[in-house]
Amino acid sequence: MNLLYKFPQIQLPKFYNLIKALFTSTSPNNLSSFWCNKEDYFQWFSRSAWSIYYIILIKKKISNKDKIIIWLPDYFCNETLNYARTIEGVSFYFYRINVDMSPNYDDLFKHDEKNKPDIFLFVQYFGNHFEAKKVFEFCKLNQIWIIEDAAHALIPNNHIGEYGDFVLYSPHKLLPIPDGSIMVLKKTGPSCLLDNNTFLKLLEEYLNKSIEMKFFNKNTMLWYLKRILQIFGFKNFIKIPDFEITLQSCKPDKFHINFSNISKKILNYEITNLNKIIEIRSKNYTTWAIILNKIITHVKYEIIKNNAIAYLIALKFNNKEDCITIYKFLINSGIPVTHWPDLPNEVINNQHYHTNAIQLRNTCLFLPLHMNVNFAKL
């Protein structure tokens, strides 16, 4: 089914920022200060999936083991792992999460030496912070690298970014740029990886072989042209994704590795409005809560509380049927509502064990909070 939305699903850049980006220069060093401290190391990529890929690749090289084990939450996007799945000798274990999306510590503390993780990844869902001291202590005690996935967080705030060896941010998810994620290697991480240069030397070696810098590539060119058309009022029909969970292909796409030059330049302008962006996202969160209370009256739901800068407003329903009913209602009303895109095939194939992840996938909907949300059109 194809429909037109009343306002964009993602934020649009300002037209003059798109034009200025063609004629100015900037450095990623100038941008990194929003996400890391001076004593930290950072590396920009197009997507956080590439950060995960290189972290796992280097861990496999350093460990000198036939197989390394990666622990990830079962409520996780399958597509994000497609690059990492191409690395030989890597096993993925999906630990269960609780209903509040925190790790199920029973899973963590039941591990034995055969299933001991080499890397532990946890997620700060929707920009929310959850207490991760137990994760930090568990990993430090067992000499496990921690990846703190903060892709839903605009910037470090409210203790986000304090617990990982690596912290991953994805500005492209919250700001109008075609690509851009930053991997921060923390000086204060439990594994003290900056105390020697082994990781950095291997990362530099791998990146020198793979990164090709271009101002535009196919992905960014299409994004740029599409945004210009949208700014001038051209609308495209949106293909509505099926709600049902399905097994996904694990074949990686050909999305470029590097943080494109056009993205750096647009981000350089957009980031100057950071305080206004935060203010509007907070205001839109409150406005959505009021409007939803008026238009969703026939089924019960709750808004998942947010204690930081929200990525999206998340609605949780009592059951799958109610969720689908409201999903169709909002879609048919021209409101750009989304659901969690996919889950790892390992989780889908063992739904009786991963009950909370399946329930969250089947009962949650998400609405945008960006600056182009136009409540007057509802």
Report d(CA 182, CA 306) in Å as an integer. 23
CATH number of the 25-210 domain: 3.40.640.10
Residue 109 is predicted with a pLDDT of 73
326 — phi, psi (to 5°)? -75, -35
Give the per-residue pLDDT at 112: 64
Q: Mention every residue, 6+ apart, whose C-beta is less than 8 A from residue 126.
A: 152, 304, 306, 310, 311, 312, 314, 366
pLDDT of residue 213: 55
Res 358: pLDDT: 96
Query: Are domains 25-210 and 273-377 of this chain identical in fold?
Result: no
The DSSP call for residue 74 is S
pLDDT number for residue 214: 57
Query: What are the residues whose beta carbons fall under 8 Å from the beta carbon of 191, sequence distance 6 or more?
Result: 139, 140, 143, 144, 145, 146, 165
What are the residue boundaries of the structural domains of the chain, listed by start?
25-210, 273-377
Residue 111 φ then ψ, to 5°: -65, 150
Q: What is the pTM of this model?
A: 0.93
**Amino acid letter, 342:** D
Alpha helices, DSSP H, located in 64-141: 105-109, 133-141
Kindly tell me the sign of the dihedral angle through the C-alpha atoms of 307, 313, 315, 320.
negative
Structure tokens at 72: 């990830």
What pLDDT does residue 306 have?
83
Fold adopted by 273-377:
Aspartate Aminotransferase, domain 1 (3.90.1150)
What pLDDT, on the 0 to 100 scale, is given for residue 105? Answer: 83
Instruction: Give 10-60 pLDDT, tens digit per residue.
Output: 898 988 888 888 877 766 667 888 999 999 999 999 999 999 999 999 999
pLDDT confidence of residue 284:
95
Binned average pLDDT, 10 residues per bin, the chain of 378 residues = 74 88 73 91 95 96 92 95 94 93 82 81 88 85 93 89 94 94 94 91 88 67 88 72 75 80 89 90 94 92 86 95 94 91 94 96 96 86
The tokens 């690509």 sit on which residue? 179
Distance between start and end Cα atoms, the chain:
21
Contacts of 357 (CB under 8 A, 6+ apart): 73, 74, 75, 94, 96, 97, 343, 347
d(CA 361, CA 339): 7
What does DSSP assign to residue 41? E
* Cβ pair 145, 166 in contact under 8 A: yes
| 30, 120 Cβ separation under 8 angstroms | no
Residue 64's pLDDT is what? 86
